[in-house]
Amino acid sequence: MHQKRISVSSVLGIHSSDCSLGCIAIMLKAVILIGGPQKGTRFRPLSFEVPKPLFPVAGVPMIQHHIEACAQVPGMQEILLIGFYQPDEPLTRFLEAAQQEFHLPIRCLCTCTIWGLGGTGPGVPGDRYLQEFAPLGTGGGLYHFRDQILAGGPEAFFVLNADVCSDFPLSAMLDAHRHQPHPFLLLGTTANRTQSLNYGCIVENPQTHEVLHYVEKPSTFVSDIINCGIYLFSPEALKPLGDVFQRNQQDGQL
């Protein structure tokens, strides 16, 4: 789990104080990828009793930090959770409380059924949890639930790994997106050569800050810029994800 304080890296080419455009009223969504009970093996035996997303970090459940950061972004309309936990009482209670506190729909959907927590007030939809029957990977999960993500026509949507601890500079990412639109934006930070081998490593174009090469947990040093597990997508980014997902299905790689 990343526990260092993370700021916007040179992959974005901006600083977290440059957030003027992040205040423009637009329609946004956020997706939090929470994994499932077979994940978090390093947390065992604790994870047998407490779902990993609810592990306390700084006195509150881990994903409360994500939800709070998303709720502070102007234009945030909805938060979706994707994973393959079974709907259970602790998670349900937490989401009920979070929705009451942040006055924001935190939807939880399932591939076969939808379980909702009801609204917290007029015009506030219920929470929904998107449940995968089998792990689909980040791209597969986003593509599988694309209709729910794109419902309502968001201008963009954030994707956050649930096991990331960060100051979540989401407004700075949104500002970068609006200054120089790209279908896909990711947050990076620097690590030393040894640390970098434990994360996805990014090779960037130093002039344009575009990603030239990406390697997940390389066996040898590739780059000191690592993936923080925080992304910003434009709706059109789901099309190439779908192409890759379908091609991998046909090749038997999923």
Give 59's DSSP letter.
T
Max CA pair span of the chain: 54
Lowest-confidence segment of 86-90, 146-150, 171-175, 221-225 by average pLDDT: 86-90
Task: Give the pLDDT mean for 70-87.
Answer: 87
Q: Is residue 220 part of a domain?
A: no
List CB contacts of 149: < 8 A, sequence separation 6 or more: 29, 31, 80, 142, 157, 238
List CB contacts of 213: < 8 A, sequence separation 6 or more: 202, 203, 222, 223
pTM (2 d.p.): 0.78
Q: Is residue 54 part of a domain?
A: yes
C-alpha to C-alpha distance for 130 and 148, rounded to whole angstroms: 9
pLDDT value at residue 136: 56
**Full domain range(s) for residue 83:** 20-187+229-250
Q: Is residue 12 part of a domain?
A: no
CB distance 117 to 126 below 8 Å: yes
CATH number of the domain bearing residue 48: 3.90.550.10
Q: Is residue 5 part of a domain?
A: no
Query: In percent, how much of the chain has pLDDT > 90?
Result: 43
Q: Is residue 155 part of a domain?
A: yes
Q: Is residue 73 part of a domain?
A: yes
Burial of residue 184 (number of CB atoms within 10 Å: 0-12, 13-18, 19+): middle
Q: Give residue-wise pLDDT tens across range 216-243.
A: 999 999 999 999 999 999 999 888 776 7
Tokens of 127: 């929470």
* Of the candidates 157, 165, 163, the residue with the CA atom closest to the CA atom of residue 6: 165
Q: Is residue 29 part of a domain?
A: yes
Q: State how far Cα 83 lies from the chain centre.
A: 11
More confident residue, 29 or 87: 29
* Of the candidates 161, 109, 158, the residue with the CA atom closest to the CA atom of residue 138: 161
Strand residues in the chain grouped as ranges (E) = 28-35, 56-57, 60-61, 76-83, 106-108, 129-131, 156-161, 184-190, 200-204, 211-216, 225-233
Q: Quick check: helix, strand or coil at residue 211?
A: strand
pLDDT value at residue 112: 40
Burial of residue 149 (number of CB atoms within 10 Å: 0-12, 13-18, 19+): buried
Number of domains in the chain: 1
Q: Given a cut of 80, is residue 248 above it in pLDDT?
A: no
Q: Is residue 2 part of a domain?
A: no
